Chains A and B, each alone.
Chain A
């Protein structure tokens, strides 16, 4: 019996120590480079290209000229049929030969060949989100109930139309990204808290809520990204792996379709 316990303890110590090695920076361990792929396809908006770069070792100052990848072969495949080639321009960005305006309802696949290895991503451009009702939670934040669709996730931002030719004030991020598991169903999405001084009755007639519909993969990314934020508060944030949706050997990246709904006045 003692022998079993002893074996178990020794084995566990090995396992724990091997996991710990991941977080401890050891200069003797060779640096592992990742290819980073990043693209967003926004409905009816000009496609801003795919950025392909590679990671840099810790301690090396970030420089796009040193991280950009110029020699990738890349193209999009729209709805399994239409090939849209992507070509290097500058700073790791690959563009179509002409402006591209993705349309909602369409699926896009991303194919990249880099130094003999294949990279792949897939996304969907949702239709404009269907809003059932909106409400103002005491000038603190705004909410909307949306009709949930399969494969989609939703998030919202508040906007304040200040007027006098000034641009709208807008929330810095989403409060959360929501999706449904059963259909048909509705979802409640809320904005982050409205920043002062706009969270007062003086501005309440200038509030708008704008709902974004995403490919559902964005929800996993959003949540895991939050989990991996730098730890500033040990009770609310922590380290963890990010959910990427671009596949390939030593590849990380996000390839996401999004449709911005109209800003709705409350």
Chain B
């Protein structure tokens, strides 16, 4: 019996040696290494053409170009039916923003050289045109300055928005970008990445983009007057989305609201890319973005909102904050809205 036990012990030792030898090339993975939804969404947005960080951004089209291509361009006017009935470009169709994707998917949209989204002042159309681009409808554009550039009849909103605010809390000091923070948490729903990302973009497409100055804020927009109080501005991380002298004017010494941080847009910069400074934008704070005219910042707000940031575009941008400085600054004065940007193209009324 004792000998039998010895033999059994010998066999078990031999077995362990052999089995451990056979299994030597096995590796033990960590218990959890699933991919994160926010990161996979960012991957989707940056894959392929990487629209938002490319020279295609912002996809704006001028009134002159639209007028010359009325037969080739699909014009989708997203204003209310009352505004549309009061006057629109001949051939334009009135579509609510929430129906744009479904409508475009129901037709052969690729047959059109450009799909032009039209709003009253170019703010909301920029937001939705960006979302359509991110969705993969690559021929989507926003009419620059909206109907305001088409005919003086529609230019009232823009002309009324031109303003010079109190700049007493402005500074020329350069503020460094903060440390990286995690991406906002986003939960994707869909059987594959493309479906899930499309579903996310559709969700943001339903956002009402309030593009009138109300002294307050909407979901994706904010009036600078609302931001002007120190108490409110502290709730926001303010981004100056411009690579030129909008952030720091060396001549006048006027710069930007205290605490604002500059991010460079394409083509000169790609600060919103993952390999650059995207994640220096705090995910737990409200984001207010301004550009020269509120259109580029609307594109930025769309992109950031898809990623889960609570981003709001400052309506009409620097035109509504320091118009005179904008109009006199070399390199920026072309961004100042004026009557020279308003055409006298015909329009039709009714539905």
Interface residues of A (CB under 8 A from B): 1, 4-5, 8, 11-12, 15-16, 18-19, 22, 73-75, 77-79, 81-87, 96-100, 111, 113, 118-120, 122, 240-244, 247-248
Contact = CB atoms under 8 A, between A and B. Distances in A.
Given A15-B15, A19-B22, A73-B40, A84 B29 contact: no
Interface centre among B46, B180, B279 (most CB of A within 10 A): B46
Contacts of A113: 35, 40
A2 to B, nearest CB: 11
A247 B15 contact: no
A97 B24 CA distance: 38
A99 B39 contact: no
Contacts of A8: 7, 10-11
A247 B31 CA distance: 10
Interface stretch (B268-276, B295-303, B337-345): B268-276
B42 interface: yes
A111 B47 CA distance: 15
Nearest to B24: A241
A87 B47 CA distance: 6
A248 B30 CA distance: 9
Interface string B43-78: 100111010010000000000000000000000000
Nearest to A112: B35
A19 B34 contact: no
Contact of A97 (B25, B193, B270): B270
B33 A247 contact: yes
Interface centre among A11, A99, A241 (most CB of B within 10 A): A241
Contacts of B180: 78-79, 81-82
Given A15-B18, A98-B273, A118-B35, A4 B7 contact: yes
B4 interface: yes
12 contacts: A11-B11, A15-B18, A73-B40, A73-B193, A75-B39, A77-B36, A81-B181, A85-B43, A85-B275, A98-B275, A241-B24, A241-B25
A178 B180 CA distance: 34
Contacts of B279: 81-83
Interface of B: 3-4, 7-8, 10-11, 14-15, 18, 21-22, 24-25, 27-30, 33-36, 38-40, 42-43, 46-48, 50, 53, 180-183, 193, 270, 273-276, 279
Contacts of A120: 29-30, 33
A256 to B, nearest CB: 15
A118 B31 CA distance: 12
Contacts of A12: 11, 14
A263 to B, nearest CB: 29
A97 to B, nearest CB: 5
Given A16-B18, A87-B48, A99-B275, 5 more contacts: A4-B4, A73-B40, A81-B279, A83-B38, A98-B276
A73, A79, A99, A242 pick with most chain B CB within 10 angstroms: A73
A247 B22 contact: no
Contacts of B50: 87, 97
A218 to B, nearest CB: 15
A97 B38 CA distance: 17
A241 B182 CA distance: 38
B182 to A, nearest CB: 5
Contacts of A241: 24-25
